[in-house]
Amino acid sequence: MYLTWLGHSCFKLQDKIGPDGMVVVTDPFDPAVVGLKMPSLEADIVTISHDHQDHNYLKTIRKEPFVINAAGEYEVRGVFIEGVDSWHDAKDGAERGGNLIYRIEIDDVSVTHLGDLGGTLNTKQLERLEGTDILLIPVGGKYTIDARQAVEVINQIEPRIVIPMHYQTPGVKIALDGVDKFIKELGLKPTYEEKLKISKRELPVEDMELVILQLQN
């Protein structure tokens, strides 16, 4: 499985490289809103966590992807995805509405994308996310959980690999915290990768790992 970070909360997941591979894109963003370049790319599946312009910009996606923007279970050519309802804030959606968490099973690896999660998870949500291998988690605060809350959620889910997203990087117009605060709060020494290439058998077994992906756009 190949995992590439395109900025903000947008990732590209591929089960294999080539014309026969499946491509999943999460939360494509409007460059004018975020301030980063959003590459034009093909995708078989696009997941949208909520209907804000920094997470739902389908104009940059070529082809005609299968778009998932609601809770439920989906299967497209061997990729299994479950959308789980949650909130965009800590007040049951009173401030910013709903948010969808997506658990993506691709190439036998379970990847959970938390979207713009606004608080810790309840028992029902955790049941749906049990067994997550790789967790894509917002850490920039302001509009989502912050560094401290992100650590709480990580302790709830207990993934094998943690990859932060939705934080301040050069060029981003949205006021967010940087990733350093989260790294310090989590207390793990990160590894830095251009992109993640990993199989089920290569996942860490004992100690959780923190991976910081380099922006690829």
CATH number at residue 63: 3.60.15.10
Can you tell me the mean pLDDT for 115-134?
95
Identify whether the C-beta of residue 136 lies closer than 8 Å to the C-beta of residue 11: yes
Work out the percent of the chain whose per-residue pLDDT is above 70.
95
What digits encode the pLDDT tens for the residues 6-41? 999 999 999 987 667 899 999 999 999 999 999 889
| SS3 labels along the chain | CEEEEEECCEEEEECCCCCCCCEEEECCCCHHHHCCCCCCEECCEEECCCCCCCCCCHHHEECCCEEECCCEEEEECCEEEEEEEEECCCCCCCCCCEEEEEEEEECCEEEEECCCCCCCCCHHHHHHHCCCCEEEEECCCCCCCCHHHHHHHHHHHCCCEEEEECCCCCCCCCCCCCHHHHHHHHCCCCEEECCEECCHHHCCCCCCEEEEECCCC
pTM of the model: 0.95
What digits encode the pLDDT tens for the residues 177-205? 999 999 999 999 999 999 999 999 999 98
What digits encode the pLDDT tens for the residues 53-63? 888 899 999 88
**In terms of residue numbers, what domain contains 176?**
2-213
Q: Per-residue confidence at 51, pLDDT binned at 50, 70, 90?
A: confident
Number of domains in the chain: 1
User: Among the listed ranges 83-87, 129-133, 158-162, which one has the minimum average pLDDT value?
Assistant: 83-87
